[in-house]
Amino acid sequence: MNETKPPEFKTQFAEDVFKGLTSYPKKISSKFFYDEKGDELFQKIMELPEYYLTGKEYDILVQHREEIGDAFSSFNGFDLIELGAGDGKKTKVLLRHFQEKSYDYKYLPVDISKNVLEQLSGSLLQEFPGLDVEPQQGTYANVLTRLADYRDRKKVILFLGSNIGNLTPEEAVAFLKKISSAMHEKDLFFMGVDQKKEPQVILDAYNDSAGVTEAFNKNLLTRMNRELEADFDPETFMHWPLYNPETGVAKSYLVSTKEQTVQVNALNLEVHFHKWETIHTEVSQKYDDTSIAWLAEEAGLEMAGSWADKDNCYKNYLFKRTGL
């Protein structure tokens, strides 16, 4: 009998690419954008005039740091846990304020990348001598399980940058449920969320005139070429973002501009593309107060505060766990 064995994959990337390119419609998760080149391109995106998210959140933190600090602080101190700390530029606004106020706190940046954590810790120790930092390397899920045992004093969990938007609403509920189950009485969860707004402003944020977002999206193709011995020609794919103002979903695609066949040698895979066939690569969900309230309720969280810029373009929400 001719039995087909399921293929064995060396990495999560290999497995997801295989599944995504053999399904219809084709898709690859945006979590694979972030290799070294992708991290670099994302840093550039955050500086772009069209990509308002970073600047808006930064301004909110600067303007409302006093009130946010009051909400975070506690008589016996607190542990500040940041999921996906990155370069910490925005968090440093809060840390600076907490230092000025002589708050008693420990900062626990969480990231999957050891490299990111080392760079961040280095810059923190230079800028904030004496800061109590305890980097936590691992996936959010693993670290959250570990940190659920931190119950001696208040925990404040930070999730900035509208990273929640890169999950579908169903995935977001599942993720927030994990957060709420790691929280005890008095613990807080502080999250930055990009808001529904004029559709063109959102589209421009994902289609900048300098083409950095296009390069960021197409980096998936070069990553497959490098890591999976594929032969994608990025010139034959278009970057195509969409925004649906009804659902608040922004999506990005790579669109094949011609009929072609691509080899992914490491996966022993031949992938055929019709002219104008798509690979869905990213979801950047936008929310409003109503949809955030729904998300929170589903996840067992209760809103405890929110801060926005003057145009309600971006918001930072504070939650506690429901029913505690």
Closer CB to ligand AVI, 154 or 251, in the complex: 251
Closer CB to ligand AVI, 73 or 166, in the complex: 166
Closer CB to ligand AVI, 239 or 321, in the complex: 239
Determine, following the binding rule CB under 6 A, whether residue 166 of this chain makes contact with ligand AVI.
yes
| 95-154 binders of ligand AVI (CB under 6 A) | none
Which region, judged by CB under 6 A, interacts with ligand AVI, from 124-132, 137-145, 161-169, 175-183?
161-169
Give the span between the Cα atoms of 209 and 46, in whole angstroms.
14
Which residues pair with residue 283 across a beta bridge? 251
Give the span between the Cα atoms of 157 and 258, in whole angstroms.
46
H or E, element range at 91: helix 89-100
Report whether 284 contacts 194 (CB < 8 A): yes
3-state SS of the chain: helix, strand, coil percent to 5? Answer: 40, 25, 30
Determine, following the binding rule CB under 6 A, whether residue 180 of this chain makes contact with ligand AVI.
no
Instruction: Identify the residue among 88, 109, 165, 169 touching ligand AVI (CB under 6 A).
Output: 165
Give the span between the Cα atoms of 284 and 168, in whole angstroms.
8
Determine, following the binding rule CB under 6 A, whether residue 163 of this chain makes contact with ligand AVI.
yes
Which region, judged by CB under 6 A, interacts with ligand AVI, from 101-109, 163-171, 222-230, 286-294?
163-171
Q: Please, what sign has the CA dihedral across residues 11, 13, 16, 17?
A: negative
CB-based contacts of 2, cutoff 8 Å, min separation 6: none
Determine, following the binding rule CB under 6 A, whether residue 72 of this chain makes contact with ligand AVI.
no
Determine, following the binding rule CB under 6 A, whether residue 161 of this chain makes contact with ligand AVI.
yes
Other C-beta atoms lying within 10 Å of the C-beta of residue 184: 12
Determine, following the binding rule CB under 6 A, whether residue 213 of this chain makes contact with ligand AVI.
yes
Determine, following the binding rule CB under 6 A, whether residue 316 of this chain makes contact with ligand AVI.
no
How many residues in the shown chain lie near ligand AVI by CB under 6 A?
A: 12
Which residues pair with residue 315 across a beta bridge? 193, 308
Give the span between the Cα atoms of 137 and 125, in whole angstroms.
18
Instruction: Identify the residue among 284, 287, 291, 314 touching ligand AVI (CB under 6 A).
Output: 284
Q: Among all residues, whose Cβ is closest to ligand AVI? A: 284
Closer CB to ligand AVI, 92 or 218, in the complex: 218
The least distance separating ligand AVI from the CB of residue 289, rounded to whole angstroms, comes to 19
Report whether 296 contacts 319 (CB < 8 A): yes
The least distance separating ligand AVI from the CB of residue 167, rounded to whole angstroms, comes to 10
Give the span between the Cα atoms of 242 and 227, in whole angstroms.
28
Determine, following the binding rule CB under 6 A, whether residue 88 of this chain makes contact with ligand AVI.
no
- Which of 136, 127, 84, 131 is closest to 103 using CA atoms? 131
Instruction: Identify the residue among 206, 240, 253, 273 touching ligand AVI (CB under 6 A).
Output: 206
The least distance separating ligand AVI from the CB of residue 233, rounded to whole angstroms, comes to 22
Q: Are strands 188-194 and 314-321 parallel, antiparallel or unpaired?
A: antiparallel
Instruction: Summarize as ranges the residues that interact with ligand AVI (CB under 6 A).
Output: 45, 53, 161-163, 165-166, 206, 213, 216, 282, 284
